[in-house]
Chains A and B, each alone.
Chain A
């Protein structure tokens, strides 16, 4: 479904990615793990069109999307829930969700999708008229995911969904991510600091180190890998 080949990205003179290649099959949950500055967020931002690659190719559903602006990539069904959530803090929950459906025109369908989002995150329904900035970290993450779902994505990229969230909510968020994937066949590319959790929910994983893929394989195998265990999984 998504095919990234030899991706190179630089911030000015600083090289962030030096040839990242990865594949995501339709219906899978694939994760990207690695330390700070390994290039995980940069990879997602480049795929979603927020950054331009200096080399390499990005193909989504067998079409080259490397030169498209971000809003046209969303229109193709590839949606990015960015790090730090980036919800519209002065807008209400209702308006945030409405903006998620910006490209949708069928109001009956939008209402159905919204009901679906409420069924996954009932908390959002309770907070419907509230300004998004007043939500807790976990609720904001729910809103960010809900907003992305409003756009009826086929492919969802999640950047650090566990960041800045109360520990008891992390489990809930990850259960919901698995549910979204299972019930609606939405393919997921997950970037996560918490490698244990990421390997648990995913079927395939890539380990990034300083802008390159250092290791890849089925998540269950990587979990047993002694080298990885020592570095990322806390022994």
Chain B
């Protein structure tokens, strides 16, 4: 792996991140609304106070000055200051990032654990009943949006059966096993919703990747040597077939983050997705910029990881 290649890719990422930030900032500046709207409708607050606050936070400056200010501060590691919470944006994001990562990580794990065996099994027995059922379920799975399946699960497991809580709490006052049990109970629904949505599309990718490989000559050769069917599939087929799947998982990460925004809102999970939604509603520009910038960085990063992984797994691909 050449170091030059990596450096070049990272350098290319800089203008794209800059471009993303310009577009984001402009869209937010052009969007209607005002973080201090609520002050204006309140008769107890004199208009001068709202005006002073606007001036203090630089809301009356032209868009480009505000952007340059933001960029300069960002370059120095200052993520800005939330209008609504009056605290630093990086602190707000860091406070919520772990929860998002845990939920998304668990969901992705679930997706892989379900999708791999199902996809491989379906591909080794193409057009069998199992394959048909798996295909149909996968199709339904990725056609249903997460907000729908989320509400459906709440309706069944929280309201009808009363088995699981539907409000996610970060501060569970319990320790040890009790804490773990509560944590698992409240995570089941959000993780299932996200994980199955991811898993559904993954099943179809795994199946087609395995299907491509399973008919190749070297597999037939392996079989003819008398190696058991299980060994053929695991050692020879899956190993080759998974190369594109690994990159795909990496490339899909940004989509998972997108799905998490909706899921976090439904289950009240204190992650960066719900932070993004509430900040958009409150017109809290610095926080919206911060969170979307984190997402943008993740997209760029995972793209890079996908490329590097692909080349590493498949030596035929050369870095250029």
Query: Are A and B a genuine interacting pair, yes or no?
Result: no
B interface residue numbers (CB < 8 A to A): none
